[in-house]
Amino acid sequence: MAAGLLGLALAAAGTAVTAPRIHRTTLPPPVALPTQLSVDETEWSVRPSKRVVAAGEVRMQIYNRGMDDHDLVIVDASGTRRGVELGPRSSGELVVTLAPGRHKIWCSLFEGTTLSHEQLGMVSYIDARPQPVVTAATSLERRHRAAARRR
């Protein structure tokens, strides 16, 4: 019985070795960037669920998981400071339009004082990048690859 199992294992290994290998010759199409994220706030941190989002309209669901009042502030594409205030164990939503680039998100409570929540660590950053565009060449490449596989 052991010899039979050994023979079966060798036969399976032999077919795996002789199978042709397929190599990728082009990169896969780009993946769409997210347009929404969640942000958790606690004493004393701000944690976004995503660090990179698509530039443009971004929906942020903010959760204050702490025991103190907090807020979340960001500067949008027009340079306007936008924010939402949150009591302990509450949530809110903020929809902003972001220009490409790095954006600071922070709790602005007691700003400019020694008790500033930002100075205590409640600050983070997200990067807004242009949404990747699938070009006609990329679509054409996909059609050629599909045709080659059918042959």
Q: In the chain, how many domains are there?
A: 1
Is pLDDT above 70 for 61?
yes
Kindly report the pTM of this predicted structure: 0.69
Is pLDDT above 70 for 126?
yes
Question: The domain containing residue 105 runs over which residues?
Answer: 36-129
Stretch 116-135: mean pLDDT, rounded? 90
Note the pLDDT of residue 140. Answer: 63
| Residue 26 placed within a domain | no
Least confident of 21-35, 48-62, 129-143: 129-143
C-alpha–C-alpha distance, residues 127 and 99, integer Å: 9
| Residue 90 placed within a domain | yes
Note the pLDDT of residue 146. Answer: 73
Q: What is the CATH number of the domain that holds 124?
A: 2.60.40.420
| Residue 71 placed within a domain | yes
| Residue 55 placed within a domain | yes
| Residue 139 placed within a domain | no
